[in-house]
Chain A
C-alpha cells in the first residue's frame, strides 16, 4: 500500500490556516530563544576586547577611502609575486625537462628507433607535457597558496562585500569577484569555486563568464605579445611600465566584458528575481601558514601533472602528427591553416593563429608554441631563444602588425575555455546546453570584437 502524507499535510494546513507565516516565525523564534537561553546559561564573558579588533581591521579594509586601494593593492601584489616569482622556477624546470628530452632522444638513437616514433613520442607527447608543466606549475603553485592564505585570514569575504554593488548592478553575486579571482589562476578552479555562490542563477552567470579572466596559461602569451608590440615601441626605461599597464588594460577589458555579459545574461536567458544575498564576514584568523603552503603546493603539483599527462600529452602527439603528415607535399597543419585563412583574416588574425587556438583547446598554454611551430615549419613545438627572435618571426616573416597582435590578444581573452574547464563545467552543471553556451558565448564575443576592431582600424587606415 502506498503511504501518503498528503491528507496530513491538508489537515496541517487547516490547523494553521492563514497564519502560516506567523507559525514559521514562531517555530524559528522558539528554537532561537531556546538557543539563547542555553547559551546564556553556559557562556560567560570576561572581556569583550577582541571583537573590537576585528571591527578595527574592517574599519580599514572596508573603509570608503582605503577599502578599494588596499584591495587592488593586495590583488596586484598577488599577481606580481606570481608572475615574477614563477619566472625562475619556470626556466629551471624548462632547462631540466628539456635536458631530459635530449637524453630521451639519445636513448631513441641508441636503440635505432624509427624517426617517426621518436618524433611522435619525444617531440610530440613528451615535449608538450614538459611545456605544460614548466609553464603552469610554478605560477599555480604560487598563486593558489597565496589565495588560500587570504581566505584563511578572512579577507576574501571582505572583497565580495566591497564589490557586491557592481555585481548586483550586473544581476550577479558579489562572490563572483572571488570566482573571477580564482579564474586568474586557473579557469577550471574558478568554475569549481562558483559553488560558493548559493543561488543557482547567479552561480550559472559566474560559470558562463569565468573564461573572460585570463588564466595562468594565457598570461604568458599576453605578456609576450604586449612586450613585443606595445612596450617594444617605447624607450627601454618605460617599457616595463607600459607593458604592465597594457596587461592591466587587457585584464580590465576582460572584467568589463564579464560584467557586460553577466548583465546581458541576467536580462535574457537567465532572467529572474535576484535571489537573496547574504554574506557572512567571519572574524579574522591567523592562518596556519606552513600547513597551507605544503598542502597547497602539493595539491597544485598533482593537479598540473595529471592534467599534463591526461590532456596535454595526447594533444601533443596529435599536433605532431598534423605537423608531420603531408598530403601533396604540404603538411596537414598548413593545409588546415590555409582553409581557415580567409575567415581568420577577417578577424584580424591569420589561418595559423586561428588553428593554433583550435589545436590549443586541450590547454591554453600550448597555443603560442603551436603557432611558432607552424610558422617555422619545425614539425615540433619550439620556443625561441628571445623575444627579439619571436618579434622577427612574427613581424618580418609573417607580416604581423600591432593590429594582428591586438586581435590575437583579444581572441586569447575571449574564446572557448580549455578542455579541462569545459569538462569541469559539464560536471558541475550536468548540462550539455550550458557547457556549449560556456564555449559559444566567449567565442562569439571574441569573433565579434575582433571583426569590429579589425575592420574599424582598416577603415580608418590606421595600419
Chain B
C-alpha cells in the first residue's frame, strides 16, 4: 500500500494513480467526466507561471485544474 496524497501536492513531471475523488456535487461529476476515475494514471505536466492552476495529462488530454479542486483528488504516487 503506497502513501496517499492529493493531486495538487505532486511535483511537475510525476505520475500518480487516482484513488478517490473527494469532491461532491457538480465538481465531483466534472472530475469524473474528465476521466479522473479510480485507477486512472495522471501525469502532472506543469504549473501556470502564476503558480495556479496546474496542468495534468488525464487520459491523453491536457487539462488544467485549480489547486483547490486538484486537492480534492486522492492519489497514490506512481513510480
Residues in A lying within 8 Å of B, measured CB to CB: 21, 24-25, 28-29, 32-33, 36, 54-55, 58-59, 62-65, 67-68, 161-166, 168, 174, 275-282
Contacts and interface: CB of A to CB of B under 8 A. Distances in A.
A276 B65 CA distance: 8
Interface string B39-50: 110000110111
A281 B63 contact: yes
A27 to B, nearest CB: 9
Contact of B26 (A21, A165, A276, A279): A276
Contact of B65 (A54, A55, A63, A278): A278
B37 A28 contact: yes
B48 to A, nearest CB: 5
Contact of A24 (B32, B34, B48, B63): B32
Contacts of A63: 49
Interface in B23-67: 23-24, 26-35, 37-40, 45-46, 48-53, 55, 59, 61-66
B33 A28 contact: yes
B32 A162 contact: no
Interface residues on B, range: 35 or more
21 contacts: A21-B24, A29-B38, A29-B39, A32-B37, A54-B62, A62-B46, A62-B49, A65-B49, A68-B49, A161-B48, A161-B64, A165-B48, A165-B53, A276-B26, A276-B31, A277-B53, A277-B64, A278-B31, A278-B69, A279-B63, A280-B64
B64 A168 contact: no
B21 interface: yes
A164 B64 contact: yes
A165 B50 contact: yes
Contacts of A277: 53, 64-66, 69
B49 A64 contact: yes
Contacts of A64: 49
Contacts, number: 94
Given A174-B53, A278-B30, A162 B48 contact: yes
B17 to A, nearest CB: 13
B50 A163 contact: yes
Contacts of B38: 25, 29
A168 B66 contact: yes
Interface of B: 20-21, 23-24, 26-35, 37-40, 45-46, 48-53, 55, 59, 61-66, 69
A286 B64 CA distance: 22
**Contact residues of A: prevailing secondary structure:** helix
Contacts of B28: 21, 24
Q: Which 4 A-B pairs have the closest CB atoms?
A: A67-B49, A165-B50, A276-B27, A29-B37
A281 B62 contact: yes
B59 A279 contact: no
Contacts of A279: 53, 63-64
Nearest to A63: B49
Given A64-B49, A168-B52, A276-B30, 18 more contacts: A24-B28, A25-B21, A25-B37, A28-B32, A28-B37, A32-B35, A33-B39, A36-B59, A54-B62, A62-B48, A63-B49, A68-B49, A161-B53, A162-B49, A276-B31, A277-B65, A279-B53, A281-B63
Nearest to A277: B66
A143 B38 CA distance: 45
A24 B30 contact: no
A139 B23 CA distance: 46
B32 to A, nearest CB: 4
A181 B33 CA distance: 30
Contacts of B27: 275-276
Contacts of B37: 25, 28-29, 32
A218 B40 CA distance: 50
Contacts of A166: 50
Nearest to A199: B26
A32 B59 contact: yes
A165 B61 contact: no
Contacts of B32: 24-25, 28
Nearest to A279: B64
B4 to A, nearest CB: 17
A55 B45 contact: yes
Given A164-B52, A174-B53, A280 B26 contact: no
- Residue of B26, B32, B49, B65 ringed by the most chain A CB atoms within 10 A: B49
A276 B62 CA distance: 16
A200 to B, nearest CB: 12
- Residue of B26, B28, B66 ringed by the most chain A CB atoms within 10 A: B66
Contacts of A21: 24, 28
